[in-house]
Amino acid sequence: AQKITQTQPGMFVQEKEAVTLDCTYDTSDQSYGLFWYKQPSSGEMIFLIYQGSYDEQNATEGRYSLNFQKARKSANLVISASQLGDSAMYFCAMREDSGNTPLVFGKGTRLSVIA
């Protein structure tokens, strides 16, 4: 079974608008971390934001926020005021304290920002 599910292969958003990228996860661990990475066409994986399973508040980093709904096992990324430079592939990922795989990635969502 997939541990990280990203159901949107591609998304379009108008410049300056907000966009939500969906991510659901599956784990039986109590302690885990959720991450979002951005990968532009250059290839580098850029860390964006982190949410711990015990964090009660949603994480925010500048224009990025993570909508964490623990009971629903979802960790959606919200990008506010989209910019052309936000066009990239976005991966949701999870680390589990007891997991054998250090970081499990979803399949990714390609975001295209339109002027």
Partner 1 sequence: DTEVTQTPKHLVMGMTNKKSLKCEQHMGHRAMYWYKQKAKKPPELMFVYSYEKLSINESVPSRFSPECPNSSLLNLHLHALQPEDSALYLCASSQELRESYGELFFGEGSRLTVL
Residue 84, classed as helix, strand or coil, is: helix
Alpha-carbon span 90 to 109, nearest angstrom: 5
* Sign (positive or negative) of CA dihedral 95, 90, 4, 34: positive
14 close to 61: Cβ distance less than 8 angstroms: no
Q: Is 43 in the site for partner 1 (CB under 8 A)?
A: yes
Site for partner 1 in 65-104 (CB under 8 A): 91, 95-97, 100-103
- Residue 90 CB, shortest distance to partner 1, in Å, is 11
Q: Which stretch binds partner 1 (CB under 8 A): 16-24, 39-47, 67-75, 79-87?
A: 39-47
Task: For 8-54, give the DSSP string.
Answer: -SEEEEETTS-EEE--EE----SSEEEEEEEE-TT---EEEEEEETT
Q: Which stretch binds partner 1 (CB under 8 A): 13-21, 34-42, 57-65, 71-79?
A: 34-42
Question: Which of 13, 65, 108, 113 lies at the binding interface for partner 1 (CB under 8 A)?
Answer: 108
- Residue 87 CB, shortest distance to partner 1, in Å, is 15
Question: Which of 35, 59, 77, 79 lies at the binding interface for partner 1 (CB under 8 A)?
Answer: 35
Question: Which of 45, 63, 67, 73 lies at the binding interface for partner 1 (CB under 8 A)?
Answer: 45
